């Protein structure tokens, strides 16, 4: 196999690997959680929401907060807990954050045969011509805190981290609901 065919094959493999990495990132949010392992979650019977929530605006509940409350309440009730506004065992809070990020990708540059024809096999290009691509994207983080109300101590936290697109923001309610479901899949109590 000559050097030209070997280089073309390497470029094809690199292109396929880059495509797999990019598609792997688009599969959904990354879910993370932390738990206080000394806590017996089966001892909790009720929950409520911190007021005001971290996702509320000055003096009113945001649309994001309303959707998060609805989704979290459904998930906690499914796990056998009851909502109360009077002395709940657990308190729930949310956080949401958007960050602008840059992604820098370098791939071997492909030169046309006519561009390299002056060399006529006498010598080759530099071993690693690189093409650099810079893309800006928005990374979103949604967090859910569960606090032991009696001790005022965080006992569980879950996060969804992922890329936010225009399509995401145009249809926010189902995206938030799906993220809450994914986050609660890591909660110590499972649905009954």
**φ and ψ at 54, to 5 degrees?**
-65, -20
**Cα separation, 66 vs 144, whole angstroms:** 14
β-pairing, 90-108 with 130-148? Answer: antiparallel
pLDDT value of position 23: 32
Question: What is each CA distance from 115 to 40, 166, 189, in whole angstroms?
Answer: 69, 39, 63
pTM reported for the whole predicted model: 0.70
Start-to-end CA distance of the chain, whole Å, equals 62
The CB density around residue 47, as the number of other CB atoms within 10 Å, is 22
Question: Which one, of 156, 184, 142, 143, lies nearest residue 44 by Cα?
Answer: 156
Q: Give residue-wise pLDDT tens across range 157-186.
A: 999 998 888 777 788 899 899 999 999 999
pLDDT value of position 73: 98
Tell me the DSSP string of 65-123: HHHHHHHHHHHHHHTT-EE-SSS-SEEEEEEEEEEEEEEEEEEEPP--HHHHGGGTTSS
Lowest model confidence (mean pLDDT) among 1-15, 58-72, 110-124, 148-162: 1-15
Length of the chain (residues): 192
**Cα separation, 184 vs 53, whole angstroms:** 18
The CB density around residue 31, as the number of other CB atoms within 10 Å, is 17
pLDDT value of position 167: 78
User: How many whole angstroms from its chain centre is CA 114?
Assistant: 44
Q: Binning pLDDT at 50, 70 and 90, where does residue 58 land?
A: confident
Residue with tokens 């954050």: 97
117-120: list long-range contacts, CB under 8 Å, 24+ apart: none
Element (H, E) at 160: strand 153-164
């Amino acid at each position: 196999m000559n050097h030209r065919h070997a280089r073309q094959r390497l470029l094809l493999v690199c292109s396929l690997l880059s495509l797999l990495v990019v598609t792997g990132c688009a599969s959904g949010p990354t879910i993370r959680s932390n738990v206080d392992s000394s806590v017996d979650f089966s001892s909790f019977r009720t929950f409520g929401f911190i007021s005001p929530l971290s996702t509320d605006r000055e003096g009113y509940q945001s649309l994001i907060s309303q959707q998060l409350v609805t989704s979290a309440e459904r998930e906690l009730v499914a796990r056998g807990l009851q909502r109360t506004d009077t002395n709940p065992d657990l308190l729930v809070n949310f956080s949401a954050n958007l960050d602008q990020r840059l992604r820098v990708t370098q791939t071997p540059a492909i030169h046309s045969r006519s561009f390299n024809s002056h060399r006529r096999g006498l010598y080759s290009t530099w071993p690693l011509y690189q093409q650099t691509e810079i893309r800006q994207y928005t990374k979103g983080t949604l967090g859910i805190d569960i606090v032991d109300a009696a001790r005022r101590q965080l006992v569980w936290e879950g996060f969804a981290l992922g890329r936010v697109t225009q399509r995401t923001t145009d249809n926010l309610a189902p995206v938030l609901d799906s993220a809450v479901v994914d986050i609660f899949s890591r909660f110590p109590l499972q649905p009954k």
